[in-house]
Structure 1
C-alpha cells in the first residue's frame, strides 16, 4: 500500500490540495528561518543569549543596552533581510511563471536596475538621502516596469519572449546610465551611491521595515490567488482564454504586484543579485512541483537572504562583504551549476 503523494485540507466546503513533498519542504524552510533568525539576533559585538532574547520579548529586559541593541538595531536588520528575501522570491516566481523562463527574474530583465537608476539620480543629481532614496528607487522600478511592458506589447498582447528580451535590453541601457552617473557624480556622493549599489542591510532601521512589510502583507494574498490562473496561462494564451482566464488582465496585474515587491526589496536593501532567480527554481526542483510554488519561493528567498547575511557576519579574517556581493557569488555558482546540469542532461559535448 503506497502513501498518497498529496494532502487535502477541507473546511466548511472549501478544500485545499497540498503536495506532500512541497509541504514538508515549506516546514523545513520555516524551521530554518526560525533557527537563523534566533542566531542573527544573538550575533554581534554584544553577545546576547536566548534567555535574554526571551526576557526582552516578555518585557523583562535584563538591561537597557540589551533592549536597545535587540529592538533598535538587530531586529530591524533581521526583518529587512527576511522581508526583502521573501519579496524577491515571490517576485521571481511570478516573473518566471509569466515569462515561462527560469531566467525571467526582476534582476535579469532590468527592473532592479531601474530601481538603482532612480536611487542614483536622487543621490547623485539631487543630493538626496534617507527615506527619499526609498521613494526614488520605487519610482525608478515602476517606471522601468511600465516602459518594458509598453515596449513588449504588440497587437494588444505581451508575449513572454518579447517581455524577457525587452527587459534585458532596457536593463543593459539602465546599467550603462548607472555607470555614467557614478563616473560623472561628485566623488564623495559617488562613493555613497556605490555602497548602496552593493546591496546591504547594515544600519537598517524601522523606517525601512514598515514600507517593506506592509507591501509584502498586502500583496501576498492577491499574488497567491493569481498564481492559479497564471499557471493555466503556461499552457498558452490561446488555451487559457477559452477556459475563462482573462489573460491580459491577469498578466498585467500580476506583473504590477511582482514589480512592486521587487521595488520594495530593492529600495530597502539596494540591488540584490540572484535571489529572485534562484529561490523559485530551488523551491520548484526540491519540491518537485509542476508549477512555480509561490509559498516555497517566498520562504526560500527569505532563507537565502538570511543565510547570506549570516555569512557576512561570521566571515573569517574580518572580511566584510555587502550582502549583495555574497548573493551574487552564491547565485553565480548556482547559475553555472544549472547551466552545466542542463548541458549534461541534453547530451551536449
Structure 2
C-alpha cells in the first residue's frame, strides 16, 4: 500500500519533464463540435471539444505524446486534426465516420457562471435563427451518439508481452483512458484491453444510464480497471446524497481496485485499495480560473501520463489536479497546446506537500 511519505524524489525533482512517446498513452472517447452561448449574449459554434480531445491535451500538458482514439463526423475540420498532430498528439486512432454531423454538444452559461447542457432553449431564443440552428446536441442518445464512439474493432490490438506467446516479440502494454461512454461500450472496451494485458482506467460511464439501472452493472466494469475516476457531479446524478466515503467504499465493493473521486472545487480523494487510507488533494488556487469545461478530462489525461511513467497514485493525482487548474483558464482545448509541462509539474509539487488524510 502506498504511503504519503514515499515519493519525495518526485516532489524534489527539477527541470522540464521529458516528452515520452513510450510506453504509449491512449485516450478513447469523443471528439465533438460544440456550440456555446456566453453570459454576454455572444455565441461560439463549431468549437472543438470532446472528452478524448481534452484528455489528450491533458496528457500533452503533462509532457507525454498521447494517441487519441475517436470517430468524427463528415463535417469535422481536417485542419484541427493537423493542428493536433503538429502539437504532438497522435491522431492515427481518429477515423472519419459516416455521420454528417458527428458528436455535437451545446452549452449555455448564466451570469453566475453556471452551465446548462444541452443549452437552455429559452436562452437560445435571443439568437438569430441561423445561429440557433447550429446549437445541436446529440448527447442525450445514451449520452453520446454511438456511431461517433470507438469500438473494439477500431482498437485492433495484439496481445502485449504480458499475455502473448512470445513476450520478446510482443508490444509493451499500453496505458489507456476511457472517457465518458455508454455503460456497455465502456465495459466492452475495458474488458478487451484488460484481457490483452493493458493498463486501463476509466471515467464514470453515462450517469443517466446509471440513474436508470443503478450501480449494480458497474460490477461488470470495475474489475477490469486499474483505476476508476468518477466525479461527484456524476455520482450526484445516480447516488444523490451519498457521502464521498460511502461512494468510495461502494465502488471498491463493486470491484474497483483504486478509486480517484474528483470533487470539483473540493479537490480530489484518492483511495489506493479497499480499506486503505483515503487521501485528499486540494485544488491549485488558479487566480484566473474560469470555465471548468474539460477539467475532469484533462485531469484524467495528465493522471494517466504520470501512471505511464510508473508514478504512484498520489503523484499522478497531483499532476492531474495541476493540469486541471490550467484547464480552467482555457476557452477551448487547443488553448492547452501552449502549456509548459514544467509549470504543471511545479504546481503538482506544491500540491503534493498539502495532501492530508481524509
Q: Which has the higher helix share?
A: 1
Higher relative contact order (CA 8 A, sep 6+): 1
Q: Rg bigger for which structure?
A: 1
Answer yes or no: same fold by TM over 0.5.
no
TM-score range, shorter chain: under 0.3
TM-score after normalising by structure 1 = 0.27
TM-score after normalising by structure 2 = 0.26
